[in-house]
Structure 1
Amino acid sequence: MDFDVMVIDDDKMVLFIQEKMMQMSGFSDVSLKFEDASKALDYFKSNNTLKDEVVIFLDINMPYISGWEFLDEIGENKPSQNVHVIVVTSSIDLRDKENAFEYKSVVDYLVKPVTKDNLIALKSNKHLKHLFKK
């Protein structure tokens, strides 16, 4: 795999399910899981072992640092990696979806739960499909 996957959600069960769905769909075997967006942000900012491209599955409504704040921070830091964010949320508010796509790193918006079909479809996303070519 030529990219890293980060899953950021404050619900342990969601982290577990998303990881299993990624394995079942062939999206990814390994993911970096974070229950706290501030810890994910620290890892992201300070870790030189991240691959050139990073796919982030990001919950929006979390304590401490929200997904919106996380997106603001990674945008300000202009990471050298190619960062592709999939917003994963329980929100069905159209304004949240519109807000999400204001961030250039956001490539998709999924309403929970993430399914195997969602992940298979993501492999064809115009921003991600190059990651899955063999």
Structure 2
Amino acid sequence: MLKKHFFIVDDDPIAIMILKKLLIKCDFNITPLSFKNGEEALDHFKNNYSSSNQYIVFLDINMPIMNGWEFLNSLETFTTPNTTRVFLVTSSVDETDKIRANQSPFVSRFLSKPLSVATLDELIKVN
């Protein structure tokens, strides 16, 4: 069985705190790593990636230094959609963001903030 690693990539510390609490409330025995921009997450990911593990990333789109789109593009250089699933969690209501998300093989779902326990339960059971 693949070991699952959870990442939260978001520049909003409150959004990170809420998502961590929701994951705990959903009874997942996980401690997600959190990063405040895509560059920090990418550096960690590249240095610790193993194709024998499964990675689940909750990714914000609009962040400083490296945004969500740049992070997604960088994933393609060293991982595959088979090992890395991304959930875009954003406050964006821009339809072009949804279209762009649907074109990425890494993006499993485009989700609006804030997430709920029911949404997380559904996501984790399916994935």
What is the TM-score of this pair, normalised by structure 1?
0.85
Paired residues for 1:63-102 under 5 Å = 63-78=64-79, 82-102=83-103
* AA aligned opposite 2:31: V
What's the counterpart of residue 8 of structure 1? 9
Alpha carbon RMSD of aligned pairs, Å?
A: 2.1
What's the counterpart of residue 32 of structure 1? 33
Q: Which runs of 5+ in 2 are unaligned?
A: none
**Pairwise CA distance, 1:26:** 2.5
* CA distance 1:21–1:72, shift in 2 (3 Å): same
Number of aligned residues: 126
- 1:60 and 2:51 matched: no
* AA aligned opposite 1:41: L
In 1, the alpha carbon distance for the partners of 2:107 and 2:100 equals 10
Q: Percent identity?
A: 33
* AA aligned opposite 1:57: F
1:9-54 per-residue CA deviation (whole Å, 9 max, x = no partner) reads 0011111110000110124531011112101000001115796100
